[in-house]
């Protein structure tokens, strides 16, 4: 036996269901897979079974947290899986910590216990939420200014009509005087 422990990871995979679909193609089923690695030579991947879940509860809990974060529908906030600022690795690191939304991440800004790259990401999340708070204010200002511009444009058109009428009257009076 090696002195190095095996690295165990669960991941979402697929398996042949040994059935055919209506159009004649093979059907596949989502399957939880397990990857067992012990450097330098051991690398095993197979479908996970109940014994694997029981023997490796921490790794399976991490897999479940990542899967839950992936399925986040955005009811509790903006899902990290949709946020372009977070890489897939960072999303997984946060999911294992039960953080799956930008709002949850922003609450951790300034937390000294977070690893460096996650702390930077938390700060970016906090800044993004701060900018979004002001977004509604700026939208209201722009809407108000658009309304003012419409009123001013209408007044300019009225003044152009009045000016045109005044110019016609002046031209008519010039002709009478001459």
The packing angle between helices 57-70 and 88-96, to 10°, is 120
Cβ–Cβ under 8 Å, residues 48 and 54: no
For residue 18, is it within any domain?
yes
* Structural domain that includes position 48: 1-55
Residue 170 domain-assigned? no
pLDDT in tens, the chain (178 residues): 445 688 999 999 988 888 888 898 888 888 999 999 988 888 999 999 999 999 999 999 999 988 888 888 878 888 988 888 888 888 888 888 888 899 989 988 877 787 888 888 999 999 888 887 776 677 778 888 999 999 999 999 999 999 999 898 888 888 888 7
Question: CB burial class (10 A; 0-12, 13-18, 19+) of residue 115?
Answer: exposed
Paired tokens of 21:
């679909």
111 in a structural domain: no
Whether 148 is covered by a domain: the verdict is no
Identify the pLDDT of residue 117.
82
Would 5 be classed as within a structural domain?
A: yes
Asked if residue 14 is part of any domain, the answer here is yes
The answer to whether position 8 is within a domain reads yes
Give how many domains the chain has, as a whole number: 1
Question: Residue 4's pLDDT is what?
Answer: 60
Q: What is the pLDDT of residue 1?
A: 43
pTM: 0.59
Domain-located, residue 10: yes
What does each C-alpha distance from 50 to 9, 33, 34, 64, 117 come to in angstroms? Answer: 15, 11, 11, 14, 35
């Amino acid at each position: 036996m090696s002195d190095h422990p095996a690295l165990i990871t669960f991941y979402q995979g697929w398996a042949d269901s040994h059935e055919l679909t209506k159009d004649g193609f093979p059907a596949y089923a989502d399957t939880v897979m397990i990857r067992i690695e012990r450097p330098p030579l051991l690398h095993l991947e197979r479908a996970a079974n109940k014994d694997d879940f029981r023997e490796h509860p921490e790794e399976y809990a991490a897999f479940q947290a990542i899967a839950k974060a992936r399925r986040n529908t955005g009811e509790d906030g903006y899902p990290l899986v949709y946020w372009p600022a977070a890489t897939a690795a960072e999303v997984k690191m946060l999911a294992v910590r039960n953080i799956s939304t930008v709002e949850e991440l922003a609450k951790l800004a300034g937390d000294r216990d977070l690893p460096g790259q996650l702390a930077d990401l938390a700060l970016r999340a906090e800044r993004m939420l701060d900018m979004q708070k002001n977004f509604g204010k700026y939208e209201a200002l722009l809407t108000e200014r658009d309304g003012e511009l419409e009123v001013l444009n209408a007044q300019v058109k009225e003044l152009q009509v009045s000016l045109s009428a005044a110019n016609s009257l002046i031209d008519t009076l010039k002709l009478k005087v001459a």
